[in-house]
Structure formats: C-alpha cells, structure tokens
Amino acid sequence: MTMLPTVADAQAFIDRAEAELLKLYTLQQRAQWIHETYITDDSELLAAGWNDRAIARVTELINEGRRFESLNLPPDLRRKFLLLKLSLTMPAPKDAKLREELTQVAASLDGSYGKGKICPGGDKEPCLGIDDLEERLATNRNPSDILNLWTEWHKVGAPMRDRYARFVELSNQGARELGYADTGALWRAGYDMTPEQFSGDLERVWNQVEPLYKELHTYVRRKLIEKYGAAARRTDGMIPAHLLGNMWAQEWGNIYDIVAPPAAPPSYDIGEILRQRRTTAKQIVQYGEGFFQSLGLQTLPDTFWERSMLTRPADREVVCHASAWHIDLDQDVRLKMCLHGTTEDFIVVHHELGHIYYFLAYRNQPVLFCNGANDGFHEAIGDVIALSITPEYLKKIGLIETIPPPSADLPILLRTALDKIAFLPFGLMIDKWRWEVFSGELKPADYNKEWWRLREQYQGVAPPVERTEADFDPGAKYHIPANVPYIRYFLARIYQFQFYRAMGQVAGYTGPLNRCSVFGSKAAGERLESMLALGQSKPWQEAMLGMTGQECIDASAMMEYFEPLLVWLKEQNKGEKIGWTVPANSLTAR
C-alpha cells in the first residue's frame, strides 16, 4: 500500500533540495564566470555542461515535488515549492538530448555576442568590441561615422536568427512540460499576481509616464534636427535610432551636449573629473562602496576585490557587459565589467553594487528565498543610490568643490531624464517582443519586422538604414542572446523612485524630491536593509509595503521628481508636433 505524502515529507524534500541546489548552483556559477571572463571553445562547453546539469536536476526536482501539490502546506513551504517551479528562466525539455542541445545553443548565442567585433578602420586600427563601440558612440558627432558603427555592429545578430528560433522551440517545450503555456508565461508567473493583472499594471504605469516621454522625445528630436539637419529629420516625426548616443537608443544621456539648454549655468562632468584625477577602476568602485557604508551597510569582503573583473583584460576575450555575481549564496560576491572611467561607469557601479548589497543582505535566508522580492526590486536598489548622486553628495566626497546654483536643477533633471525616462518604452518593448516570440504569435519570418514595429510604436525611433528579415537586430542587444528577462528593468525604473521618496522621508528630507540625497542617513539605511534582508521570502507587495507604505507599482514618485522638467519641456515644445506617426512598413528607413 502506497503511503500518501505528509507535510513532514514535503519539508524533508525541500530541505534536501535546497542543500543540493546550493552545491549545484555554486559549481554552475563558477563555470559561467570562467566562460564570461575567459571566452574559449572549452569554457563555452564547460559552461554549457554545467548549465545542462543544473537545468536537468532542477527540472527533476520540480517534477518530483509535484507529489506534494495537493497537501495543505504552511505558507513558507508552499512558497518554496512555487519558487522552485519558477526558478528556471530557461526551462528545458526532459529529453536529455534536447536539453543538451538547448544549453549548447544558449552558450553559443551568448558567446557570439561576447565575441562580436567590428573593424571600422580595417587593418589600420584594432577591431572593437561593444564596450569600445559604446564609448565611441557616446562622443562621436559625425553622422556618417555613427551610422557606420551602428550598421556594422547590428550585423552581429544576423547569424543568430536560426539558432535563436531553435532556442525558443526547445525552451517552450520545457515550459510546457512544467505546466506553462510557454516560456514567456513562465516568466510572467513570477510576480505574485496573475499574468493579466501584471500586464494591466504595466500598461497603467506606462500611461502615467507616457506624456512625459513624448514631451522629452519632441524636444530631443528638435535639437537633433538643429544639429544634424536632414540626417535627423523624418516626415513621420520619429528619431533615427543611431543619433541618440547609444547603440540601442535605450538611454540618451550621452547626447546631453546636443540638447542642453543654451542658457544653462556651468555644471560638471563626473567622467571628466575622474579622468583628470586618473581615478582607477578600483577607486571608482570604492566610491560606490562608500555610499552603502554611509548608510550603515557592511564593507565589501576581501574576496570581492580579489576575484572581481573591473577592466578588460588584454590577453583574452571576455563579456564586458556589467553584471553582479553571487557565486555561493554567501559572501563570494563579484563584479564583472570593463570600466573606462565615464560618468555612465560611475552610475553603473552604484547600480551593480546594489545587486551585491542585496546578495549580502539576504544571504542568511534559505536557498530558495535568496533572491530579490521580484527581479525588478533587484535592479532598482543600486539605482536608488544613484539618484542620490546629487551635487551635495559629490561635494561631500570631494569630487566637486562648489555646488551649482538652483538654476542648474533643470539641466540636471534633463540629463537624468535622458536616461531614466528615455529608457522606459525600450524597457517595456523588449519583453513584449519576446513574449510574442515565445507564445508563437510572432513567427521567425517576422522577427525583425515586429522588433521595429514595437520600437516605433513605443519609442518613436526608427532604423537609420533599411532593415529586412536577413537582419536579426534583437541579437545585437545582449539580453536577447543571453536570455535575460528584461521587464525587470522597466519595473526598476519605476520602483526606484518609490524607494527613493520613501528613504528620503525616513531620512527627514523635506525639499524638492530631485535634490534629495540619503548619503549618510543610517535611518534610511535601516529601512533599506530591512527590505533587502527579506529576499524573496514574502510576496513583493509586502516588501513594497514595508519600504514605501504602498502595495503596488506607482509612477507618482517619478512624476513628482520630474515635475519641474515637464513644465519646462511643455514650454519649449510650444508649436511643435508632439509625438510621431508609425508607418505601415516598419523596416524601411526614411
């Protein structure tokens, strides 16, 4: 006679699973670290092998755990079973051969991006990876040079198309075997609400911020036309994607010099200050560490400095895309990026250290709770700190000597909006495209067409040269070949202002929100760390409530922060056509 499982059996199963997952995860992370910091055929195969083992075992554990689904489990235990089921962003088929194929395809896509290079100077100059290209795009103002860099880099995606389509097939099969309609449905199940509620929240928040984005778009478009003339002018009102200072037109801060108000008082350039002082990569990271320490959080472990990769090595290929790593779910935390000492680097360091401090805060949670309240929380934490990089803060740490007058607030707000607000539609459309791909609504034959339709609809940007289905422009964006869910970044842009306003209130700040810095506030640090320490042990709505007093995502804090800018933009845009028209054919440059 078969004995029915008990709650005690379920608890024992989860305890064993967590112990096994910790060992497996640590080995997988080490293999992946080696692959991304030492790209070779061997490291690619090793990473794929460990990914295969991890996915195989997690899939087995999920299926083994199904026998406990009918039990009336305590809330924490039931949550662990749910999070186990949702832990695979790349679900794989049970069939060993298909699972191995999936992990190998995934590793090859990641490697293709990491090894991607263009050689704009032929044999006369060294070939450039994406980090070098981003640096050039940030400062180059020659439209033909910019167009060449954009066009050449986007060729990196074309060879990925067939492999990506196969990746989608295999991942979807794995998702269906776990009981989900497709991989996108699995991803959307991780937000403690129904997919319909989640989609509704996204549209509600986008409607809150869209008017500000359209005003910003209109202003930037006019300034670009003044700068570049015919190269920037389109009859449909969209902006050519290559002119915005970023390879994907996702953030526009690099073109601040083009759009800065003409009467703006002198300000500062953090990157230039760092270069003049010959600030090392380690010193840049130490600025970020110092901010978290000022809030009362711990110093970074010695192993962080010993094991992180902060600059591009001269002797090997690496993936330079900035990322934070939690190798052993304890204190082996690492940062991987190729610092050049730019203003963006200074901000990105704070962002990535947000992940690191989240890791350290929840490391004492059970294995299945060692994660952010949701993935958007993880992305928001460092950005909360970056919002506090105000002139007052920069003076306190000795990077500037004088604080710009209040009349400089608008230029600073504009500079911030070029990244924070400009990013929102891009952050929304990436996974909208991918969810269509995973659901089968979008077929491989139309991958590029739909990519640009969504970019035109949400961003109002268009390809600078004709695109066809011989291209695969999604592959030129790291998160697509690397299979990193992206809606987290959209959520994070909203959450960070909610967290920032709440921390400012706790710190006793009462002035305009855009001037708030919580640097040095132990009270704000305590509020922050209490949320971080929860990990994923509670639904994110509870973590949000404890941090902000709200239980939902809300863009009112973001709109409060940028209210002076919105008023100013409306004044600048008088007489201009606000917005753009999406053409019928999304692949043709005009």
Q: What is the pTM of this model?
A: 0.89
Provide the CB-side half-sphere exposure for 266 (13 A, CA): 3
**SS3 per residue for 478-514:** CCCCCCCCCHHHHHHHHHHHHHHHHHHHHCCCCCCHH
Measured distance CA(387)–CA(201) in Å, rounded: 24
**SS3 per residue for 191-221:** CCCCHHHHHHHHHHHHHHHHHHHHHHHHHHH
Measured distance CA(524)–CA(295) in Å, rounded: 7
Task: Report, as an integer, the average pLDDT of 1-25.
Answer: 92
Concatenated DSSP letters of 519-580? TT-HHHHHHHHHHHHTTTSS-HHHHHHHHHS-SS---HHHHHHTHHHHHHHHHHTTTSPPS-
Tokens of 90: 């790349």
The pLDDT-based confidence of 260 (bands split at 50, 70, 90) is very high
Measured distance CA(518)–CA(26) in Å, rounded: 35
pLDDT at 123 over 80: no
Q: Which residues lie below 8 Å from residue 181, measured CB to CB, with a gap of 6+?
A: 175, 439
Taking only the tens place, the pLDDT of each residue in 191-210 is: 999 888 998 999 999 999 99
557 to 91, 427, 515, 541, 561: CA distances (angstroms):
36, 19, 13, 17, 6
Lowest mean pLDDT among 181-185, 238-242, 319-323: 319-323
* Residues across the chain: 590
With beta carbons less than 8 A apart as the criterion, state whether 269 and 343 touch: yes
Measured distance CA(455)–CA(462) in Å, rounded: 7
Taking only the tens place, the pLDDT of each residue in 322-369 is: 999 999 999 999 999 999 888 889 989 998 999 999 999 999 999 999
Taking only the tens place, the pLDDT of each residue in 277-307 is: 999 999 999 999 999 999 999 999 999 999 9
pLDDT at 101 over 90: yes
Taking only the tens place, the pLDDT of each residue in 500-553 is: 999 999 999 998 999 899 999 999 999 999 999 999 999 999 999 999 999 999
pLDDT score of 589 = 47
Average pLDDT, the chain: 93
Q: Which of 115-129, 389-403, 466-480 has the highest mean pLDDT?
A: 466-480
Helix-, strand-, coil-residue percentages of the chain, each rounded to 5: 65, 5, 35
Q: Which residues are catalytic?
A: 321-322, 351-352, 355, 379, 479, 489
Angle at 223 between CA 222 and CA 228, to 5 degrees: 100
- % the chain with pLDDT above 90: 78
pLDDT score of 583 = 75
The pLDDT-based confidence of 48 (bands split at 50, 70, 90) is confident
Q: Which of 287, 309, 299 is nearest to 331 (CA)?
A: 299
Which residue matches tokens 């801060």?
Answer: 253
